[in-house]
C-alpha cells in the first residue's frame, strides 16, 4: 500500500513532477506575489479554483482549511466552504465493475442479483450504487475511485515540502503548526479512504448506540465489503431537509431528537458522526432518524469529554474564567500560553454571546472563536477539537435550515444540564475516587524502587551516557551530508559545463546541449535546496 500516513522525508524524484505542476498552477492563479514574499494574496475565488484544479487531495485539504477560521479571513473561509459542494463526474460502470471484482475476487453478477449502473451519488472519493444481494437484501454499494493510494501518497509528500517552503519564507506561519495539521489531515484522509475502517466504525456505532431510541444506523454486509468497497443496508427513508418541507409540524421534535442524539454520542459514548449534513441524515417511514456515511468520525476520551462538558456549561453561563480553564484542559500539550491574554480574548467572545439573544447563540461559532483566541495566544489546539467544531457548525447549519425560528439552543441547554448533573452523580464520584485511590497506591508501591534505580544510575555515571541509537543517528546525518555534497557538485558541474558551452557561442546541437545543462543544473539546485528543509 502506497499511503503516506507519516510526514517522513519522501523521495524528491517522486514528488518533483507534481511539485512543479503545483507551482505552475499557483502562478496561474495569481499566487506569484505571495510566493515571492510580497504578502499579496490572490482573491478568494482564485484560491478555491486552485484547490479544485489540483485535484482530490488538495480539494480535501481546502475543505479542512475551511474549518480553520483561526488561520484565514472570513471571505476565504466562505469561498473554501463551497468545496464541500464540488461536483465530480461519475465513473462509468466498467470501472465500477473492475474495482468491485478486483476488491472482492468474485464477478459482480455473482455477488449481486441486481446492480443499478447509474449511481445514486458521485463524490471525490467514491460513488454509491443501489443493488440487491443474491439473498434478496436491498443494499447500497459504495465504490472507491481507482488510483487514490498513489495520488494521496504523492500529494502528501508534496504538501510537506510546500508547508516547509511556506514556513521558510513566512516564519510567522510556524505559530500555526502547519506540519501537524498536514499530518492530521493525512491520517484523516487515509482513514476516510479505508472502507474497512468505516465498516468497523459502523459496527462500533451500532453496538454502542443500540439503546438510543429514535436512531437507526445501517448494517454492514461484510461478505460484500473490503477496503475499497462498502456494502450497507439501504436506507428506506428521505433526506431530512426534503422531509421537513413536507412535514413541518414534526420538525421541532426531530430537531430535539437530533440534538439529544448528537450530544449523547459525543459526551456519553465518546463517539460522534463528524459530517451531519442533510445528505447524511434521513428520516425513516417510522419517524426514526438514520445516520449515514461514517467515513468521517471522531473519538473522545473521558478526560476530553469532561472538559468539553465544562466548556459548554461555561459558555452557556458566560463564565470566562471557567471557560478558559476548561479550554486549556482540552490542549494539555500547549506550552508558553499567554493565559492573561487568552482570558481577555475569551471574555470578549463570551461578551458577544451574552449580548446576543440566547436563542441565536451558536455553539459552533463559539468553539470557532475559542480556536482563534487560542491560536493567537499559543494554544496548540488538538485535532479532535477542530473536528468537533466542524461537526457543531454543520449540525447547527442543518438545524437552522430545517426550522430557522426554532430555539434549538433550549435543547442544548437541557442536555448539557443533564450531562453536568450526571458528571456529579454519586456513582460517578465514587468510581473516580476509587480510580484515584488505586493510582495513589500504585505510585506509593513503585516510587521507592524507581528512586533507587535513578540514584544507582547517577552513582554509576550512566545517566547521560550516549546510547547506540544516538551514534547511529549521527552516522546517518554524516551520510546524508556527504550525499548532499556529492549531488551539489554534480549539478554545479552541469551549470558550469553548460555555461562554458554558451559562452563559447557554439552553434547547433552544442548550443542546445549547453542550455539543457544549465536548466537541468538549476532544477537540481532547487530540488536539493528544498530537500534540506527536512534534514
Residues with catalytic annotation? 275
Of the candidates 226, 174, 234, which has an alpha carbon nearest to the alpha carbon of residue 195?
226
- CA 57 – CA 154 distance, rounded (Å): 10
Cα separation, 392 vs 369, in Å, equals: 13
* Dist CA 436 CA 440 (whole Å): 6
On the 0-12 / 13-18 / 19+ scale of CB atoms within 10 A, 246 is: exposed
Q: DSSP letter at 265?
A: I
What is the CB neighbour count within 10 angstroms for residue 318? 18
What are 35's three cell numbers?
510566493
C-alpha distance across the termini of the chain, in Å: 25
What is the Cα–Cα distance from 427 to 306, expressed in whole angstroms?
16
- Give helix 302-317 / helix 363-376 axis angle, nearest 10°: 100
**Residue whose cell numbers read 437552522:** 400
Q: Are 156 and 251 in contact (CB under 8 A)?
A: no
Q: DSSP character for 176?
A: G
Angle at 380 between CA 187 and CA 69, to 5 degrees: 80
Read off the DSSP letter of residue 216. E
* Coil/strand/helix, residue 494: helix
SS (H, E, C) 338-367: CHHHHHHHHHHHHHHHHCCCHHHCCHHHHH
Q: By the 8 A CB rule, do 236 and 184 touch?
A: no
Residue 297 in 3-state DSSP? Answer: strand
Number of H helices, E strands in the chain: 21, 11
Amino acid at each position: 500500500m502506497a499511503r503516506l500516513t507519516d510526514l517522513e522525508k519522501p523521495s524528491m524524484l517522486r514528488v518533483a513532477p507534481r511539485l512543479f505542476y503545483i507551482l505552475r498552477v499557483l502562478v496561474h492563479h495569481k499566487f506569484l506575489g505571495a510566493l515571492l514574499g510580497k504578502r499579496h494574496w490572490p482573491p478568494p475565488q482564485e484560491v478555491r479554483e486552485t484547490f479544485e484544479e489540483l485535484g482530490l487531495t488538495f480539494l480535501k485539504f481546502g475543505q479542512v482549511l475551511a474549518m480553520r477560521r483561526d488561520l484565514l479571513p472570513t471571505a476565504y473561509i466562505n469561498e473554501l466552504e463551497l468545496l464541500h459542494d464540488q461536483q465530480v463526474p461519475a465513473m462509468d460502470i466498467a470501472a465500477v465493475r473492475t474495482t468491485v471484482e478486483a476488491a472482492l475476487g468474485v464477478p459482480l453478477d455473482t455477488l449481486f442479483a441486481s446492480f443499478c449502473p447509474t449511481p445514486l451519488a458521485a463524490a471525490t472519493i467514491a460513488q454509491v450504487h443501489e443493488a440487491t444481494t443474491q439473498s434478496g437484501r436491498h443494499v447500497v454499494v459504495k465504490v472507491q475511485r481507482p488510483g487514490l493510494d498513489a495520488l494521496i501518497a504523492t500529494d502528501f509528500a508534496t504538501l510537506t515540502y510546500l508547508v516547509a517552503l511556506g514556513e521558510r519564507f513566512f516564519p510567522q506561519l510556524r505559530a500555526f503548526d502547519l506540519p501537524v495539521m498536514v499530518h492530521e489531515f493525512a491520517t484523516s484522509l487515509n482513514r476516510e479512504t479505508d472502507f474497512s475502517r468505516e465498516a468497523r466504525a459502523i459496527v462500533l456505532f451500532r453496538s454502542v448506540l443500540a439503546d438510543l431510541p429514535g436512531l437507526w444506523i445501517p448494517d454492514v454486509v461484510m461478505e460484500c465489503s473490503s477496503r475499497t468497497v462498502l456494502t450497507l443496508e439501504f436506507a428506506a427513508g428521505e433526506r431530512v431537509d426534503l422531509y421537513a418541507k413536507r412535514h413541518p409540524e414534526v420538525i421541532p421534535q426531530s430537531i430535539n431528537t437530533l440534538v439529544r442524539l448528537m450530544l449523547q454520542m459525543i459526551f456519553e459514548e465518546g463517539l460522534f458522526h463528524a459530517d451531519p449534513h442533510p445528505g447524511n441524515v434521513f428520516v425513516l417511514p417510522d419517524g426514526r432518524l438514520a445516520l449515514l456515511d461514517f467515513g468521517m468520525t471522531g473519538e473522545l476520551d473521558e478526560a476530553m469529554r469532561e472538559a468539553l462538558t465544562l466548556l459548554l456549561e461555561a459558555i452557556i453561563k458566560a463564565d470566562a474564567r471557567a471557560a478558559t480553564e476548561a479550554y486549556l484542559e482540552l490542549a494539555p500539550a500547549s506550552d508558553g500560553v499567554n493565559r492573561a491574554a487568552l482570558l481577555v480574548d475569551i471574555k470578549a467572545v463570551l461578551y458577544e454571546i451574552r449580548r446576543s439573544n440566547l436563542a441565536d447563540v451558536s455553539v459552533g461559532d463559539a468553539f470557532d472563536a475559542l480556536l482563534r483566541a487560542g491560536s493567537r495566544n499559543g494554544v496548540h489546539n488538538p485535532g479532535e477539537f477542530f473536528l468537533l467544531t466542524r461537526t457543531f457548525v454543520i449540525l447547527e447549519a442543518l438545524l437552522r435550515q430545517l426550522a430557522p425560528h426554532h430555539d434549538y439552543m433550549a435543547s442544548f441547554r437541557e442536555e448539557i444540564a443533564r450531562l453536568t448533573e450526571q458528571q456529579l452523580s454519586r456513582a460517578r464520584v465514587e468510581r473516580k475516587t476509587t480510580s484515584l485511590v488505586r493510582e495513589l497506591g500504585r505510585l506509593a508501591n513503585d516510587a521507592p524502587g524507581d528512586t533507587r534505580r535513578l540514584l544507582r544510575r547517577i552513582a554509576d555515571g550512566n545517566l547521560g551516557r550516549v546510547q547506540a541509537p544516538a551514534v547511529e543517528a549521527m552516522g546517518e546525518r554524516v551520510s546524508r551530508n556527504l550525499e548532499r555534497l556529492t549531488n551539489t557538485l554534480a549539478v554545479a558541474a552541469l551549470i558550469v559545463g553548460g555555461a562554458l558551452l554558451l559562452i563559447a557561442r557554439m552553434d547547433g546541437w552544442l548550443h542546445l546541449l549547453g542550455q539543457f545543462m544549465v536548466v537541468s543544473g538549476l532544477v537540481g539546485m532547487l530540488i536539493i535546496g528544498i530537500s534540506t528543509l527536512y534534514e
